Structure 1
Amino acid sequence: MDEETADQHEIFLTLFTANEAAIRAFVRRLVPTRQDTEDVMQGIALVLWRKFHELDDRKSFRRWAFGVARYESLAWLRDKCRDRHVLSEDVLDLVADESTRCEAWLQAQRHALDECLEKLPQPQRGLVLAAYAPQAEIQRVAKQSGRTVGAFYQWLHRIRLQLLECTRRTLQSEGCHE
């Protein structure tokens, strides 16, 4: 790999990594399952890299990536259209439009939630993150916390309410409105 390609690769990885969670959330709203999201995301990453040289303004990477994600998701869904659980293309276009419109608000919510999670004491934050990790086993996390499963669910409910209130206050203090 020559130096120019290496530089482009580094720039791409920096931009993609910074935006991957938002792109993944966008795709997740369009496709039926998390596994489908993983499949579509692989294709999106390849297309973004292959077409990265076409991007004129790096500041518009997110908008450009969302456009690619939209087309790749819709193409994937068209290929799967024989499945009766797939929505019509018109409905998917509406969902994609609404998802694009709401992305700034959703990003502000994610940022506020991250800030609120950081305010939790480390043991509590660790348990919350463990409970929501992919393939998390609540029985194992409850045992790790020293609680029964029922008591852990009650504790987790109280923490979620605290995080919800903290997130609302944070968004309000930052002047964010949907």
Structure 2
Amino acid sequence: MFKRSDESLIAKALNGDQSAWQQLVNRHQSALFYFGLRLLGSREDANDLLQDVLMVLCRNLGQYRGDSSFKSWLFGIANYRAMDMLRRRKYSDNDDELAEMPADNPGLPEQLASYRQQKQVQQQLRSLPAEQRLVLELKFYQQFTFDEIASQLAISSNTVKSRFYAALDKLRLQLEDDHVEQSANF
């Protein structure tokens, strides 16, 4: 099937084509949601971020100039909004998702282990400074280059690289500490 470019969808959406608008939203909403989920740590916050970004997009689509890719521009908006949310909100670790798992599921032990591992990784990511966590998210999950990240965050590529490698070092140390602690418990 022929896939329209973001730019052609933008042009049609700006001319009132609802189908083009919906295609544009459908193309990027999943990545935006998971960006928010990994960065903010909860589904509610991720949904709030997604809705906020889509509202900004709806109001400001005409301001997209094409200086960078649409995805990069869109994630620039998401970055700004997510950092704002992080400054305003505190995290609370809740296990609501764990309570939703059916107890009679034969694969429950594996699901629980996977869930706990994911929660541990999320907790370790949340322990990083927001600027470092954001760079990791954009590099690993959104697969932006260092230069694209630098452009989105309005900082130098060297600063992006510095934050990226500092975050990796902190995560490595945390994982080593956790491994030593778990080994000592056996």
User: What TM-score results when the alignment is normalised by the length of structure 2?
Assistant: 0.45
